[in-house]
Structures are given as C-alpha cells and as structure tokens.
Amino acid sequence: MKGVVLATIIVTAVLACSLASANPPLPEPIQYEQYCENQKIAGQGVIDISTSMKDKKLALEYYNVMAGDGAFELDSEHALSENASKLFRQVGDKEMPVNLYETTKMTYSGITPLVGAKYLHSKAFYGGIGADVQEMFSVNEMEKDQKLFFASTNASGHWTDPTKAAWAKGLMTPSYDEEGNVILPLSPVHLVGMDTKTSFNGTWGTDSRWHKIFYKDIKDHQMFTGVFEAEKLIKFHEAPFPEHEVSPCKGVDC
C-alpha cells in the first residue's frame, strides 16, 4: 500500500479593530526574554525527547514529545522571542518577524515504533486567537522536514530608531495603529502554522481547530495508516489592523 497526500489549509481573517471579534496585537515587552536551541543527533538506540513552552505574554502553549528505539537522525532548531522584532525567519516566501520558530529534519527506522506528538496553541484566554494545530504519529520508518511558526505581538520594538534598525532589512515604510504605534509591514501579528513534508510507514495524522465562542468554529482532522508520502501546510492567521472605512456620504453635504 502506498499513497501520496497533498493538503493545504489556510484560513485568514482580516478584521477591523472596531469589531468585537478581533484580537489586537499583543504588546512587545521592553524587558523581553529569548530561548534558543540547536541540535544535531545521529545514532542507534533509545530515544526520549520532550520539549514544552508556555508564555502568557505571548498567549503561547507548545509541546513536542517523541519516544522510540531504533536508528535515528535529527537536525532541529527552537527559537523563542517575546519580541518578534528580534526574530526574523522565513515563512513561505517571505522573511517575517515571529515569536516562535521551529525546524525539524528527521529520519527514523526501527522495529519499535517511534511514537510522537506535537501541539501549538494560541490561547484566547491570554489574548491569542484560540487556534491550535497538532500532529500525532506512530511509525516504524519516517523521513520528515517540518517548520512550525507562531506570532502574536506587534513587532515594532521599543528603543530602536525604525529608520535605522527595524527597516534595515529593506522593509517598506511603516504603518501605524489607532494609538500611533508602529506596525512592521510584514508583521503577521496572530499566526499559527505548520508546514510538513513527510514519508512514513505507520500511522500519521494532524488535527487543527480555530474556535471563538458564538462566532467561529473551524475543525480539520486527517489520519493515515500505511505507507504514505505527504505534504501539508496548515496556517491560521488573523491581522486585526484598523481599516479606513469610507463614509457613504463622503464628498456630499450630509
């Protein structure tokens, strides 16, 4: 049994700040914190990996666990910054400021299944959009190239001159929100996403959901068992920048 799966799920909401359903960008703290991890591992034996991140300032909840016994190679990076303006990474075909970025290149082969799960959540209770994506697998063979990305803050910075620092990368002229705060033109604001290319022998699947009480409920579930190749992009995006509404009687004495 062999299959090929191609899937793209992109949900974008661009909402005026006057709407009650829009989540404003979270402010970037002046005294910010960062976390970075890079690793390359290759060998044969028992694998036990667990990573978790929670940050109320970012409305972020993240988990990643794996366990198995076999031949294993891993090249990965975790980068977390409470100021997105300090963490630029490639998302799609653009370089964007993000709060969390994770890359994983992995191969596994073993009689004992490699069992793992990954979860990324923008918590509505702390100012996020209530969207989450997760991945689950139990495989005897797997090759995977994956990127996770998350953003929730207004990537403007605080003590830097925008004409010399934030726009040194050749970004466009800044825009401003209703309070006069600078907004980077490429700032995604609220973004939750996963981009995966994988081939496997076993079971692999994803679940994603975006829920707002009395307003929005989007769900997607996919699970495959057998020998498959898959390419999948899941992205939830909300950009609640103010929209300039044109009065219906503009230019008319009303």
1 vs 196: CA distance, rounded Å? 21
Q: Consecutive sets of 10 residues in the chain, 254 residues long: mean pLDDT of each? A: 65 42 78 91 96 94 97 96 88 87 97 97 94 97 97 69 48 56 68 96 96 88 96 88 60 60
The length of the chain, given as a count of residues? 254
Tokens of 182: 């600078």
Which pLDDT tens digit goes with each residue over 148-174? 999 998 876 544 444 445 444 554 455
- Find the farthest-apart pair of alpha carbons in the chain and give their distance in angstroms, rounded: 79
Question: Structure pTM?
Answer: 0.80
